[in-house]
Amino acid sequence: MTPLRYVRAADKVDALARVSSGARCLGGGTNLVDLLRQNVEQASELVDISRLHGAIQERDDGGLFIDASVTNAALAAHPLVRRRYPVLARALLAGASAQIRNMATVGGNILQRTRCTYFYDVDGARCNKRQPGAGCDAREGFNRYHAILGASDQCVATHPSDMCVALAMLDAVVHLSGASGDRSVPLADFHVPPGATPQVETVLLPGELITGVELPPPTDAMVRSDYRKVRDRSSYAFALVSVAGGLALAEGRVREARIALGGVAAKPWRARRAEAALIGVAPQSDAFVAAIREELADARPLSGNGFKIGLVERTVVAVLTALAGARA
């Protein structure tokens, strides 16, 4: 690990100044410290932003603004989150142990990098994400955990966050600050597919800082929502497949459907084709299957992860069936 300088940001202005000068932000450190220790990433200076003001504020319209330094534990336990956005609370609880949730921050969770084995294997594997132009050993190697949607010849890694899958389903908006001012980006557009530049993972510009996440006023399908994660072991592990789903019914038909998938792409995958296919139909398993199959029409499985197609179908059907049968 390369020697580096550690400083604690006095406030947001101080943090932005240091980031603009090339410092890396340190929240809970649950991902970045590992990357530095294993020489996947390098930094000359870390600016600790974990002590900056972190609050969850209710908006006048019923939405929420969540500061980037709020911990995953605090967010999962917040009564308004549990009542209005239960899918988010459940995704956070599925994502990590209590110890990690107490450290990990919202901003850091959004920016965490893939857990692809080849990405971490600095000395023994080729990885275009780590070293552009090197190649991708995952394509012909162990790819059980890798992408079936939105991948490219350059990279097939998946984004590991559970929280981000729920945020994508909720139409969350990420707020950013930088030297040129403030801007906001829908969470669903914040992470980018690999294409020819897999080393570019987000729309975050050099010198910018995530300052918070905004949740819109809850709709019926946000309130009537759930998160289901399928993994290789019952203890905390990254998802093979996960589903954030929400459903609202009217007169025996689907009035609103929300579906986001995890473990299948380089970003949380909003299943908009499936959502559109469900509007106005009876909430039955055959309709759920037909809808998610429309979403998976462009799936391109690898040698070791073709099972994910059927697993996505079954998990989506299970989540939506449970929501359709739940009391309003």
Secondary structure (H, E, C), the chain: CCCCEEEECCCHHHHHHHHHCCCEEECCCCCHHHHHHCCCCCCCEEEECCCCCCCEEECCCCCEEEECCCEHHHHHHCHHHHHHCHHHHHHHHHHCCHHHHHHCEHHHHHHCCCCCHHHHCCCCCCECCCCCCCCEHHHCCCCCCCCCCCCCCCCCCCCCCCHHHHHHHCCCEEEEEECCEEEEEEHHHHECCCCCCCCCCECCCCCCEEEEEEECCCCHHHHCEEEEEECCCCCCCCCCEEEEEEEEEECCEEEEEEEEEECCCCCCEECHHHHHHHCCCCCCHHHHHHHHHHHHHHCCCCCCCCHHHHHHHHHHHHHHHHHHHCCC
Task: Please report, for residues 5, 83, 96, 246, the alpha-carbon distance to residue 220 in angstroms, rounded to integers and kept in the order given.
Answer: 48, 12, 28, 8
Distance, in Å, from the CA atom of 142 to the CA atom of 281, rounded to the nearest integer, reads 40
Per-residue pLDDT tens listing for the chain (328 residues) = 567 888 888 888 888 888 888 888 888 888 888 888 899 988 888 888 877 878 999 999 999 999 999 999 999 999 999 999 999 999 999 998 888 898 899 999 999 999 999 999 999 999 999 999 999 999 999 999 999 999 999 999 999 999 999 999 999 999 999 988 999 999 999 999 999 999 999 999 999 999 999 999 999 999 999 999 999 987 778 999 999 999 999 999 999 999 999 999 999 999 999 999 999 999 999 999 999 999 999 999 999 999 999 999 999 999 999 999 965 4
**Which tokens go with 112?**
């965490």
pTM: 0.95
Domains of the chain: residue spans and CATH = 1-52 (3.30.43.10), 221-325 (3.30.390.50)
Q: Are 279 and 198 in contact (CB under 8 A)?
A: no
